[in-house]
Amino acid sequence: MHDSGTVTAPAPAPEQANPTAPTSRHARRFGLPVATALVMGNIIGGGIFLLPASVAPFGTISLVSFGVLTVGAIALALVFGRLAERDPRTGGPYVYAREAFGDFAGFLAAWSYWITTWVSNAALAVAAVGYLDVLIPVNDHRWTACLAALAVQWLPALANFAGTRYVGAVQLVSTVLKFAPLLLVAVGGLFFFDAGNLGPFRASGDSAIGAVSASAAILLFSYLGVESAAVSAGEVRDPRRNVGRATVIGTAGAALVYLLGTLAVFGTVAHDELVDSSAPFSDAVNAMFGGSWGGWAVALAALVSMTGCLNGWTLLSAQTPYAAAKDGLFPAAFARRKRGVPTVGVAVTVVLASLLTVYNYTAGTAKVFEILVLVTTFTATVPYLLATAAQIFHLVRGEQVDKARLLRDALVAAVAFGFSMWLVAGAGYAAVYQGVLFLFAGVLVYAWLAARRQRTA
């Protein structure tokens, strides 16, 4: 990733003048393994455990969609690596958008990303309760389920309040525990693979392009989270070198687990059964080893996976507002940090996610909640589009002198921009419409903060 002499990076912020100096014994900068675990852990949440059944109706052509999407996701990862090499400050897409296009673009990136994180955290917690119910019956009563969902959110928040040292430790342990059962199915399933289980190549009756696009729309959002290391760049040791490496290795690792896991389930569970399966990995484990313990094992793995994912997303939810608050583009309270963690940002995020969770259970319907979750699939792509546009801006401006590197970076940026646009299209009309309303609500916040900043200046 490192290419000396071709990019002129701005001077680091004062807090990063000495990146290796820890601020306290509870704050510790992430090395390459933890930064990679952050990326992989945030990309792979609980969705992996349902993915094979979700794409089974399209047939094995959905594996082609995986390949196409992986190329796009890795292109986006490479763009984040190049941008972090240029400007390795905490905030990721917010920092890149603001530096290239000014305060308003930066604010839009920060605002949309912040909405994405706390709504997604509430969604993850509610989904985790579904897996917890397999181990401990909690769904029998609405308030028991609600309390379980709140506990799933607050435990990772407490790890964040304890400091970056503990966030990194939880992320590393949860990633290892998560991948053990996934790799058991992904690799072990190949020994039990039966081509007769695969079913038709195109099961939906659509054209090849139609089937790839339709299955891709389901798979697209499985790759959200590639920006994780870039957003926390200020907490990563040697970020110019490690952010890009962690982003690419983490994204490629997640893609490999997705692809092998889905292929193994396709080959161990009969296609007709898989289409109607509510727990495809459980069915795969039961088919491989017999018995009915697969459901328990997979539920436990999913719970660990989602708790680790919440741990990483809780940190990210505070990092972007922290960076924006330091520039006066978010309320000043978000700039407060203890033990390396923006504690006010963590607190506000977990409270908002908790209120949304309580509302979900008291409303008695998941309809409003599902709409909000769908909106986040659009708001998540706004920072991606702004970041890739920032990379294109720097390339067109002519900062790079190496012609071969310029051509390669331009091609990668174009693929990443196309991938981001595909994400927007995949979100659907309703999500884009409502997501734009969320974005424009932020314009009022920007106007208030900008006016206050000018008045004090």
pTM: 0.79
pLDDT at 276: 78
How many angstroms separate the CA atoms of 41 and 34, rounded? 10
Q: Are 236 and 12 in contact (CB under 8 A)?
A: no
pLDDT at 401: 67
pLDDT at 34: 81
pLDDT at 111: 93
Residue 236: strand pairing partners: 30
pLDDT at 176: 73
Counting as low any pLDDT under 70, the low residues of the chain are 1-28, 46-47, 139-140, 163-168, 170-171, 204-206, 278, 292, 294, 364-370, 399-401
pLDDT at 163: 66
